[in-house]
Amino acid sequence: MRLPATHLLVAAALLGAAAACEQGGGKAHSHAVGDLLAEVRARLAEREKKIAGFALTAEVTEGPHTATYEFWFRAPNKMRGDITEPASFSYAFDGRFLYQQSDERRALLIAELDPEKESTAVDLLQTFSPFAPEGFRTPLIRKDGALVQRVKHPLAAEAVEVKQTLRIDGYAHRLTYVLRWPSMDFLGKTVSSRAGTVETRVERESCVESLGLCFPRELSDWSEGRKTTTTVIPDLDFQEILPHEAFQLDAPRGFFIQQHFLDGGTVERRR
């Protein structure tokens, strides 16, 4: 079973649809919306800075299938995800190299990435977004491509709703986030496209007093009024921050290793 593909829709580099201003008094309204959007972006950045790292275990259930995985993050950009059920796969990024290891195929693929290229951000999002549930990764919101307003939500005394549009394979996807104000805790997300609408809801959360932040412990995805996926996070630890070397995968003896470098060079060997 693959992890649900709905998480891959957050392709940050593709976000952006300019919001149209209303005529007659719309200019003042635009300034007010712009000020709130700027504050939302600033508070999201502040939230991100508070998180030095964490470790979590998650179980994703889709119909009769369940996948179990572990995920570790170390600021600013080191990540590792280990799928333990139904098959064993590991993915890691140490800030320079992306590692993909399959125990079943007894193979390790290593690719050098250029942090200055936009494609690197997309590659990392596609690889690690399924490991980091909503609420554990910061929504990337463009300063000139989003609409924001204050809303009510049953899980928060105050909340904001952020809407923006992205294009994937030439088709528009409308993305809406609801975040608790002012801590920017994740409360919900809706993605609408020609294929339909998928809504992610927070079913249960817990708060970390030392950070002043709350995080989902159970999430559900809904489509056409039907629950499709449930993600449960039984273990969450903000004190367990892996050392730098833990984000560099070292294949066991007998594994085939293929390593690609930015200059086009490739090295293949068996451990």
Q: Report percent pLDDT > 70 for the chain.
A: 88
Q: Torsion angle, CA of 158/200/172/140, rounded to 10 degrees?
A: 60
pLDDT band at 269 (very low <50, low <70, confident <90, very high): very high
Q: Is residue 249 part of a domain?
A: yes
Residue 52 CA, distance from chain mean position = 16
User: Do the Cβ atoms of 138 and 48 come closer than 8 Å?
Assistant: yes
pLDDT band at 210 (very low <50, low <70, confident <90, very high): very high
Q: Is the confidence at residue 24, as pLDDT, over 50?
A: no
* Residue 241 identity: I
Residues 6 or more apart whose Cβ sits within 8 Å of residue 23: none
Q: How many domains in the chain?
A: 1
Q: Is residue 16 part of a domain?
A: no
Residue 175 CA, distance from chain mean position = 14
Residue 197 CA, distance from chain mean position = 19
For residue 199, the model assigns a pLDDT of 97
Residue 136 CA, distance from chain mean position = 7
C-alpha to C-alpha distances, 118 to 27, 30, 77, 113, 114, nearest whole angstrom: 33, 30, 15, 11, 9
Backbone φ, ψ for residue 88 (5° rounding):
-105, 110
pLDDT band at 14 (very low <50, low <70, confident <90, very high): very low
For residue 84, the model assigns a pLDDT of 86
User: Do the Cβ atoms of 228 and 221 come closer than 8 Å?
Assistant: yes
Domain that holds residue 176: 26-255
Q: Alpha-carbon distance 104 to 95, whole Å?
A: 26
Q: Is residue 11 part of a domain?
A: no
Q: Is the confidence at residue 256, as pLDDT, over 60?
A: yes
Q: Is residue 92 part of a domain?
A: yes
How many residues are listed for the chain in this entry? 271
Q: Is residue 250 part of a domain?
A: yes
Q: Is residue 59 part of a domain?
A: yes
Q: Is residue 194 part of a domain?
A: yes
**Residue (of 114, 137, 3, 140) closest to 58 by Cα position:** 3
Average of per-residue pLDDT across 145-164: 95
Specify the higher pLDDT residue, 171 or 18: 171
Q: Alpha helix (H) ranges present in the chain?
A: 26-50, 118-128
pLDDT band at 248 (very low <50, low <70, confident <90, very high): very high
**Residue (of 60, 43, 35, 30) closest to 179 by Cα position:** 43
Residue 183 CA, distance from chain mean position = 18
User: Do the Cβ atoms of 47 and 213 come closer than 8 Å?
Assistant: yes
For residue 79, the model assigns a pLDDT of 96
CATH at residue 70: 2.50.20.10
| Listed ranges 104-113, 121-130, 168-177; the one with the highest mean pLDDT | 104-113
Q: Is residue 192 part of a domain?
A: yes
